[in-house]
Structure 1
């Protein structure tokens, strides 16, 4: 019971950190504009992709269910409907994960600025590696591609499960939210972790040790990103929240009262090399 209570409180703390990220981000009109620019560009790109997907969803579903061409009209229509629903669910999962990755890559210098300002207000970044944004772009790109590929691998079984009656409409969306929330947390914490010279492997290790906290933060972000246009505001605010999440996971203060006695040593700068 105590373990369940702790997990629940950590999950709730993750949600509160997201709220704190929104609050801190909203205090500065300049940050609002700065963080929205990359998100607007990504939103336009993904909107075009979704328009084409919706227009051709029937054709895609028919292509995916080629094996049912000789079935009766009722069963063929039912399986094509299931395929269309499964495709949309998988596309929503990949869109949320991919949107975050692409936006962070496009706006790397913007979000680095936002994250750094958040940490400056909390006493700075212990163990920070002073590198220009273009030196961290390639490692960030490699880590983002790894996360996107993992997301694609996750989407394949979720797509297949979407054909199963009831399960495809109940269990699959829940798994979507959990996996999507986890991946988005790993993506968003990339900015503050990279500033410390830490890579994806470090993020995974530290976030696994704070799983409930990470999911409490990431699942709401994933769900909100499913709402069109809202993502323009959510991503930069989530970067602020992810900075706070990183600090808490590393034992640093998040309420303008840094606690140096809890600081864990950061990874050396050499860890910025591609792995």
Structure 2
């Protein structure tokens, strides 16, 4: 629980740092704006065609009574939209961090300079950041689907689907989002996705404390434009907490 609260605190400190540096907030918001426009257009298109998609997925219900057919296709439509929302959130972070690689490296460099101990950090070319971000983003999205798809199906189970499943889904989303948010700081130290995952597993509560508020706030329409740069700075602080623990520098100073 202590690590979880520390992760939440570091997320809040990310907001404090950006409020004192509006330029960094603007730089971090630009990739989020572009990704938001792309994914929002996709969600609007999905919502417009959701009835047709639900019907195409459940042709076996064509001969059912109207009430049962409507109920089934409503449930299918809700499941489709929920799945798209979860996938969109995971894809959003991957796309935003990949597209905004050069911007986020600049932010990471300045934040780590304030921390005073960016041990082993090196500057990476933008094309390398983009390639690593896209590659790891695809891997994380695919791995997350291994958990989210069964959970979405389990959402139809009475009681469990309305209590346990939403909590489990939120935690899974938070974990994979945290892995994305700390990526640039790990890249700058020459550490790949496997090493990143192994390090955060030792501080899982810390990762969830960062990823949970970020994922929940990103679900609010357009909030992700501000939440993503805040969460990214929180990710830099979390990476610092796990990798550079030999310093007592206060990131708020």
TM-score, structure 2 normalization: 0.93
Deviations 1:57-111 (A, max 9, x none): 1222222222222222222222112112212221221111111111111110001
Aligned positions, number? 251
Q: Gaps (5+ residues) in structure 1?
A: 1-7, 259-275
- Farther-moved stretch of structure 1 (54-63 vs 193-202): 54-63
Q: Hey, what's the Cα distance between the residues in 2 that align with 1:154 and 1:50?
A: 22
Aligned with 2:121 (options 111, 114, 128): 128
Q: Hey, what's the Cα distance between the residues in 2 that align with 1:255 and 1:169?
A: 43
Does 2:194 correspond to 1:201?
yes
User: What is the Cα deviation at residue 172 of structure 1?
Assistant: 2.5
Q: Hey, what's the Cα distance between the residues in 2 that align with 1:245 and 1:254?
A: 13
Q: Gaps (5+ residues) in structure 2?
A: none
Structure 1 match to 2:32: 39
Question: Is contact 1:83-1:163 (8 Å) kept?
Answer: no
Does 2:93 correspond to 1:100?
yes
Q: Hey, what's the Cα distance between the residues in 1 that align with 2:144 and 2:159?
A: 23
Structure 2 match to 1:175: 168
Aligned with 2:146 (options 140, 143, 153): 153
RMSD: 1.7
Q: Hey, what's the Cα distance between the residues in 2 that align with 1:165 and 1:20?
A: 40
* Runs of 4+ deviating beyond 4 Å: none
Q: Hey, what's the Cα distance between the residues in 2 that align with 1:244 and 1:54?
A: 37
SS at match of 2:115: coil
User: What is the Cα deviation at residue 252 of structure 1?
Assistant: 2.5
Does 2:83 correspond to 1:90?
yes
